A and B are shown apart, each in its own frame.
Chain A
Amino acid sequence: MDKEFIARGVKRCSTPRFLLWILPWLSLLAFGLYSAGLCLVKGLNQTNMDNRFAFGLWIFLDLTVIALGAGAFFTGFLLYILKLKELRAVINSAVVIGLVCYSGAIAVLMVDVGQPLRAWFTFWYPNVHSMLAEVTFCITCYLTVLAIEYLPILLRNRKLREVPSFLVFEHELHKLVYVLAGVGTFLSFFHQGSLGGLYGVLRGRPFAFREGFLVWPSTFFLFIVSAAAVGPSFILLTTWLVEKISRKRLARPAVLELLGRISGLLLAVYVLAKTMDTLIWINRTSPDAGFPAAQYYAWRPFGTWILFAEIVLFGLVPALVMLAPWLRRRTGWLVSAAAMACLGVALNRFVLTVQTLALPTLAFDKFLSYWPSWQETGTFLAVVAYGVLVYSFSFRYLQLFPEERELKAEVRQEKEEELPAMAGRY
C-alpha cells in the first residue's frame, strides 16, 4: 500500500511484515518514553544516581553514542574533502546514523539535567571555560548540520520528488554538501574533543585528570582519534547488520574493507597515543596529584584487567586484524574486529564516566557502587528503539545505499526464484 513511497528499482518487504518488524521497537520506545516522562515529571529521584554518583548510565550512553555516530562526519570528511569516492556507497547511511546518535544523545541529556526548562541558559550565559558549554554548542550546531545533510536524502524520496519546489531545493542543498561536510567535520572534531575534555579537566578526580596542550587535556585529542577510528567501524558494522537482516547486498565488499582499513589505521594510532598517555599519567600526572596510580586498580572489581581490555584486547587486536589484508578480506574477521573496536571505545567511555566516580577521592571515602534504576534503563532503551525506528523508516523509504540497485541487478536471478519466501525481509 505504501509502494509509491518506496524508491524505484529496490525491493522492500510487504507493509504488514514491516509493521511486524517495527511493532516491538515501537512498544520499547513507548515504555522508554514513559520512564523518561517519569524522570521529567517526578524529578531525577526516579534514578539511582546520587550526590556521589552524579553521572550514570545516561552520560555513558551519550559519550558512547556520539563516538559511534562519529562515522557521519568522518565519512563525510573522507568522501567530500579527501575525495574517497567509494564511500559514496555508505554516506547516506552514515548521515542517518549520525542524526540518530546525536538527536538521541541530546534527548537523553534533556532528561538527565534537573531543570530542562533552563537548558537554554547555556546559550544565553555561556561559560567559555566549560567543556560542557563547548559540547552543548557543537552538538546542537552539528545536529542542525546533520539535519540539513539529511534533508536531501529525505527529499529524494520518490513521493516527495513530485513537489517541484522540493526538487529544486534539494538540488540547491546538494551544492552545499561540501561546505556542510567541512563545517560538520570542524564541529565534530571540536565536540568529540570537548567530550573527552569533559573528564580530562577534572583536577579533582586524579583518575580522570590529564595534562595536555594549550587549554585541552590529552583526552581531548584521544577522543577525536578514537571517535574517528570507531566511526567507520560502526558504519561497517551497521551496513553488514542491515545486509544480514534485509537479506540484500547493499555495498561492495571493497567499501567495507576500505572502511575497515581506515578504522584499523586510526585505531592503531589511537592505541599508540592512548598507551603513551597512560604511561605519562601513571608516572607523572597522577603521582603529582598525590595519587599513586596503582591505588586505582586495587579497588575491586576494577583491576588492571580493565586497562588491558581497553587498550590491548579491544584496541590493539582489532586494529591489527583490520590492518592485515588477508584477515580483512574475511568478512567474519572484519566484522568482529569492527565490533571489538566499538566495544573498546564503549569501554573507554565507561571507564571515564563510571569508574572515575566509583573511585574514592578522600582518605575516608568508600568505593561506591551504582546500578541504574528501571527508569534510567528504560530511557536508555528508548534511544536504541528510536534509532532502530528512524533507520528502518529511512532504509525503507529513502535511498540509503546508492549501490543497492546495481548490486541487485548483479544478483543472479535464480537465487530469487529459489527462495522467494526469503526474498527481502524488508
Chain B
Amino acid sequence: MNTTRRDLFKFVGGSVVGALFTPAPWRLVTDTALWSENWPGIPRPARGEIRTKFTHCALCPAGCAVRARCVGDQPVALAGVPGHPLSHGALCAIGLTAHHLPYHPSRLKQGPAGEAAQAVSAAISKCGPAQHAAVLDLRPGRTASWTYRRAMASVKHGLYLAPPSPFGGSVAFDLHQAKTVLSFGAPLLDGWGTPGNVIAARENFRLIQAEPLESRTASLADLWLPIRPGAEEALAQAIANVLADGKPRSPFAAQTGLTEQQITSVAEELAHNGPALVLDGGQIPAVMELNRRLGSLGRTIVARRETPVPESWKKAAPVTNLASVPDGSIRVLLIDESVMDAYLPWSMIERKLVPDDPLVVTFAWSRQGYARHAQYVLPAAVYPEIFDDIPPAIDSVAAVFRIAAPLVEPPAGMVNPSEFIGGLAGLPAADALRQRADAIHQAGRGTLFTCAGAKSVPVKEVKPDDFWKALNEGGCWLDAVDESGAGHRFLWPANADDEKRSSAPPEDLPLVAITCETRAAAAPLSPLMSKLYQESNLRLAANHAALNPATARACGVGEGARAILRTHCGSAQIEVSLDSGVPPGVVKVAAGPGIMDLCGASARAQVVPA
C-alpha cells in the first residue's frame, strides 16, 4: 500500500485536531504575549539596597543641596534637601536630572593631556613682553580658583581672568531685607541666585519687572513694565529724575515706551515702600546710581566676607576682569568650563587673544562650548563626578563653603583642571579642598549644617576631621553675618560694552534679538530635558526663536519656518515660531552656545528666510 496525497492531508488534519487537545498551542500563545513584556531592548532596572547620599549641585552658582536616592552606589534620583538654610529644599529641572550627565551621549571620553601640557609650556616660553598666559575661570571664588591664581602668580606672564561681576564679586543682594524689588530683566524667578532662597523671600517683597519680553519672571511679577528693548538705562535715569525732582526728564521717559505716570508711580513705590532693591542683568551704572540714591547700599546690597583661605595661599595672582584686559594680549588661554556660572560670548574672549596663532586649551565635559574654538580639548569630569566647592551665590549674604562631593566615580582618562594648571607651577592641588576646610575651621566662625539631620551646629564644637567628613557628606558651612559690612566701599561696576548700546541702530539690523534660556547654554543638560524642550514646548529649544506675527511677516518667515539670524558677530540658523506676546521688532531666541556667541544677552539682529 502506498501513501497518497489524501492520506497526507488526513494525517495532517488529524494532528491539527489532536494538537488542539494538548497544552502546546495555548502555551505558545501565552508565551508570545509574555515575550512582548520583555522583548529585546527593554532594560531591567538593577535592584538593590536603597541608600541616601547628600551633595551640592555644581551646575550653577546656586549650589543647591541635593539628596540622592541610590540603588547600591548608583544614584537613580535627585531631590532637594528640605530645611536647608540656603536652597530651602528647591532643586531645578536641570539639577533634578543631573545624575544622567555621566552617560550623556555627547560626553568627552579622552583628550591629549600630555600633548597639551607640552604645548602650553612651549607657548608660555614664547610669550612676548606685553603678552600673557592666562587662565579664564568661569566660576571664580572656588578653591580651584585659588589654585589657578597661585599657579598664575608663579607662572611667567601669568594672568588670572574672571568674567565681569558686580562690584568684584564680594557683594550680595539681600532679598529678605527688600520690600520692593525693581528688576531690569533679571530672571529673578527663573534661576537667578539661589532659586529656593528667592522663593522663600518672594512672599515679603513686591516685584516690579522692567523687561521688553513677558518672561517667566515678568508673568509672575506683581507689576510688569513692558519697556522698549535696551531702554533699561533710560528707565533707570527717568526714575532717578523722579526721585530727584519729582518728574522724569522727557528724553528718557520717551525712550522707555512707558507713560510718565507709570514711571512716577514706580519711583514713588521704590522711595516710599523701602527698603528697595534695584537689580539688573548686565551691570548698568545708572542702576547702581539708583540703588545708591534709594539707600540700598548697605541695606539690601551688602558686602560679603571672603570664605577663609590658608595664609600660604595669599601670595596669588589678582583677579583680573576679562573686560579690562587689553585686546590681542593673550597668547595662551586655559579655559576651565568644567563648571560655568554663565556662558560668555566667544567674541568677547576672542578679541583678547593675540592675532598670531594663540593657544587655547579648554577643560570641558563636551565639545558643545568653547571646545569649538580650542586647539586642545581636555575631558573634565562632570557633576556629579566632580570634587569641587561652590562659591556663595549672588543672593547669599554670608560666606559659605559647600562641596560637590562625587556621587559617581569619574571614568578613567579625565583631566582635573586644577591639577593640570597647578602642575604648570608645580603646585600640589590634590588636597586643596581639605586645606581650605581646615582654614575655615581654624577661623572658627559660623555654623555647620548637616543634611542628614537637617541641623546646624557652631563650627567651634566640631573637630577638624568631623568637619571635613561632614562637608563630604553634603554638609554646608555658613559664615556668621558680617555686621561691619555696612561701611564697605562699593567699587562701581566697570561698564562692559557700552559702545554697542550707544551706537545708533544700523540699517541692516532692524530687529533686536533677546536671548532666553541662557542657563541651558551654560549648564550641561540631561537627555531627559527633552521633556521640556522637545516633547513639550514649555521652554524654547536652543536655536528656536519666537517672533511677533507682524514682525515675522515683515521678515518673510512663517510658523515653523527655518530662517537665518544675523548679527554683527555672524549668523546662525533658527527655527521660527509665531507668538503675538513677543513685542514687534524683537526676536526672542533661545540660547545655545552658538546663539550666545552671536547675540550675547541681546543684540541688533536681522532675520531672513533660509
Contacts and interface: CB of A to CB of B under 8 A. Distances in A.
Nearest to A51: B535
Nearest to B35: A117
A288 B33 CA distance: 43
Contacts of A121: 33
A60 B273 CA distance: 65
A304 interface: no
A50 to B, nearest CB: 11
A117 B36 CA distance: 7
A120 interface: yes
Contacts of B35: 117
A118 B29 contact: no
A115 B32 CA distance: 11
A418 B581 CA distance: 77
A394 B35 CA distance: 39
Nearest to A116: B36
A261 B398 CA distance: 92
Contacts of B29: 120
Contacts of A117: 32-33, 35-36
Nearest to A114: B36
Of B29, B33, B35, B36, which is in contact with the most chain A CB atoms at under 10 Å from its CB? B33
A200 to B, nearest CB: 31
A263 B32 CA distance: 46
Contacts of B33: 117-118, 120-121
Contacts of B32: 117
B217 to A, nearest CB: 21
Interface in B1-40: 29, 32-33, 35-36
B90 to A, nearest CB: 27
Contacts of A118: 33, 36
Contacts of A120: 29, 33
A42 to B, nearest CB: 12
Nearest to B6: A163
Interface in B299-351: none
Interface in A109-140: 115, 117-118, 120-121
Interface residues of A, number: 5
A162 B316 CA distance: 108
B32 to A, nearest CB: 5
Nearest to B32: A117
A121 B37 CA distance: 14
A115 B35 CA distance: 11
Contacts of B36: 115, 117-118
A117 B32 CA distance: 7
Interface residues of B, number: 5
A121 B30 CA distance: 10
Interface string A87-128: 000000000000000000000000000010110110000000
B503 to A, nearest CB: 41
A118 B29 CA distance: 9
A24 B417 CA distance: 69
Interface in B31-60: 32-33, 35-36
A118 B36 CA distance: 8
A115 B36 CA distance: 8
Nearest to A120: B29
B587 to A, nearest CB: 23
A196 to B, nearest CB: 30
A163 to B, nearest CB: 10
A110 to B, nearest CB: 14
A117 B37 CA distance: 10
A172 B248 CA distance: 104
A88 to B, nearest CB: 33
A121 B36 CA distance: 13
A120 B29 CA distance: 9
B569 to A, nearest CB: 36
A348 B35 CA distance: 40
Nearest to A121: B33
A364 B549 CA distance: 19
A120 B36 CA distance: 13
A120 B33 CA distance: 9
Interface in A22-65: none
Nearest to A115: B36
Nearest to A163: B6
A115 B33 CA distance: 9
A118 B31 CA distance: 10
Interface string A321-353: 000000000000000000000000000000000
Nearest to A118: B33
Nearest to B535: A51
Interface string B89-119: 0000000000000000000000000000000
A108 to B, nearest CB: 20
A120 B32 CA distance: 11
A147 B29 CA distance: 23
A118 B34 CA distance: 9
A115 B29 CA distance: 13
Interface in B128-157: none
Interface string B384-398: 000000000000000
A117 B34 CA distance: 9
B269 to A, nearest CB: 33
Choose among A115, A117, A118, A121 the residue with the greatest number of B CB atoms under 10 Å from its CB.
A117
A53 B307 CA distance: 58
B372 to A, nearest CB: 33
A121 to B, nearest CB: 7
A231 B32 CA distance: 38
A40 to B, nearest CB: 12
B536 to A, nearest CB: 11
A117 B33 CA distance: 5
A146 to B, nearest CB: 22
A407 to B, nearest CB: 38
B36 to A, nearest CB: 5
A58 B187 CA distance: 48
B279 to A, nearest CB: 32
Interface in A287-342: none
A118 B35 CA distance: 10
A155 to B, nearest CB: 16
Interface in B242-263: none
A231 to B, nearest CB: 34
Contacts of A115: 36
Nearest to B29: A120
A21 B447 CA distance: 91
A118 B32 CA distance: 8
A121 B34 CA distance: 11
B31 to A, nearest CB: 10
A166 to B, nearest CB: 13
B24 to A, nearest CB: 16
A361 to B, nearest CB: 18
A118 B37 CA distance: 10
A327 to B, nearest CB: 50
Interface string B433-474: 000000000000000000000000000000000000000000
Interface string A384-395: 000000000000
B364 to A, nearest CB: 34
A105 B35 CA distance: 26
B446 to A, nearest CB: 49
A134 B146 CA distance: 74
B38 to A, nearest CB: 12
A44 to B, nearest CB: 14
Interface in A348-393: none
A120 B26 CA distance: 11
Interface string B275-297: 00000000000000000000000
A115 to B, nearest CB: 6
A117 B35 CA distance: 9
Closest 6 CB pairs of A and B: A117-B36, A118-B33, A117-B32, A117-B33, A115-B36, A118-B36
Given A117-B36, A120-B33, 8 more contacts: A115-B36, A117-B32, A117-B33, A117-B35, A118-B33, A118-B36, A120-B29, A121-B33
10 contacts: A115-B36, A117-B32, A117-B33, A117-B35, A117-B36, A118-B33, A118-B36, A120-B29, A120-B33, A121-B33
